[in-house]
């Protein structure tokens, strides 16, 4: 599904290398977790994959289902099936959440040559999906993320993911700032989307999210590289021992 090959990324504005050779391969239907200390480049990786400006790819590449994505515009990557649940969802005053969702869904359908959803079809679908994430009608009407609590913002990300039905979902610290109940809700939302054709890259600080979203593979990222890859046990190891030992191992 997603293949990242020796990806090296620097900031455009200043001479600073952030990703220093990331290698990662997520197979179809798999769930991979990426853990690592703050500042190790996890968010940068998710931004570079989804096409945020300000970064310079100095070498390496990334493919989605075999096709290079790093030269595509963000909207083209989205249409190709990539989705990023933001660590910090963006507030957009003046744009209604519902309008935003419908515009996004229909833009993607259009770019894939599919007919647009009618207002009624869209409404039916969004209501059902919002309900299972405990997102009420009021939240759908409000401007995108404006005045949402931390938990509401994260649930809103999952709602977007559910509506857009991407192939490759990247979740950047979707669990941070959530209480246990909210985290369960989010995890249920993610699990409901798991399927053979859909893969997940779950970036997290804590093992606890992985109790709910069971990963197939766990990667540890530090200093802009994947320093260790293993099974679900690796997450437990980090939970008990912290990153110090792992960092010492590679140093």
Using CB under 8 A, which of 25, 28, 57, 100 touches another protein?
Answer: 100
Residues 161-180 that bind another protein (CB under 8 A): 164
Using CB under 8 A, which of 1, 35, 62, 79 touches another protein?
Answer: 79
CA distances from 32 to 20, 96, 125, 240 (A): 20, 33, 28, 20
- Write the DSSP string, the chain: -EEEEEEEEEESSSS-EEEEEEEEEE-TT-EEEEE--TTSSHHHHHHHHHT-SSEEEEEEEEEETTEE-TTS-HHHHHHHTEEEE-SSPPPEEEEEHHHHHHHHHHHHHHHTTPPPPPHHHHHHHHHHHHHHTT--HHHHHSEETTT--HHHHHHHHHHHHHHH--SEEEEESTTTT--HHHHHHHHHHHHHH-BTTBEEEEE-S-THHHHHS--SEEEEEETTEEEEEE-THHHHHHHHH-SHHHHHHH-
Q: Does 38 bind ligand ADP (CB under 6 A)?
A: yes
Using CB under 6 A, which of 1, 35, 42, 187 touches ligand ADP?
Answer: 42
CB of residue 130 vs another protein: minimum separation in angstroms?
Answer: 16
Q: Does 191 bind another protein (CB under 8 A)?
A: no
Residue 204 interacts with, from another protein, Mg ion, ligand ADP, none (CB under 5-8 Å by kind): none
CB of residue 95 vs another protein: minimum separation in angstroms?
Answer: 5
Q: Does 113 bind another protein (CB under 8 A)?
A: no
CB of residue 226 vs ligand ADP: minimum separation in angstroms?
Answer: 12
Q: Does 52 bind another protein (CB under 8 A)?
A: yes
Using CB under 6 A, which of 1, 4, 43, 129 touches ligand ADP?
Answer: 43
Binding site for another protein (CB under 8 A): 50-53, 73-75, 77-79, 83-84, 86, 89-90, 92-95, 99-100, 103-104, 107-108, 111, 143-144, 160, 164
* Interface with ligand ADP (CB under 6 A): 11, 18, 36, 38-44, 54
């Amino acid at each position: 599904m997603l293949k990242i090959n020796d990806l090296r990324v620097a900031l455009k504005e200043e001479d600073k290398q952030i990703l220093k050779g990331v290698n990662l391969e997520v197979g179809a239907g798999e769930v991979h977790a990426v853990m690592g200390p703050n500042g190790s480049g996890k968010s940068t990786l998710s931004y570079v994959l989804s096409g945020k400006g300000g970064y310079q790819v100095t070498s390496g590449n990334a493919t989605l289902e075999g096709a290079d994505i790093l030269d595509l515009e963000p909207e083209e990557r989205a249409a190709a099936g990539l989705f990023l649940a933001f660590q910090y969802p963006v507030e957009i005053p003046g744009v209604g959440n519902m309008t935003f969702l419908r515009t996004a869904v229909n833009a993607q359908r259009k770019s894939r040559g599919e007919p647009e959803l009618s207002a009624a079809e869209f409404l039916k679908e969004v209501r059902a999906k919002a309900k299972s994430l405990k997102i009420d009608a009021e939240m759908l009407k409000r401007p995108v993320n404006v005045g949402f609590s931390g938990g509401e913002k994260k649930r809103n990300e999952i709602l977007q993911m559910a509506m857009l039905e991407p192939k490759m979902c990247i979740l950047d610290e979707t669990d941070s700032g959530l209480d246990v109940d909210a985290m369960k809700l989010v995890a249920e939302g993610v699990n409901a989307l798991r399927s053979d054709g859909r893969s997940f890259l779950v970036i997290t600080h804590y093992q606890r999210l992985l109790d709910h979203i069971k990963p197939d593979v766990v990667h540890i990222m530090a200093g802009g590289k994947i320093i260790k890859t293993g099974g679900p046990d690796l997450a437990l190891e980090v939970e008990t021992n912290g990153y110090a030992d792992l960092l010492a191992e590679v140093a």
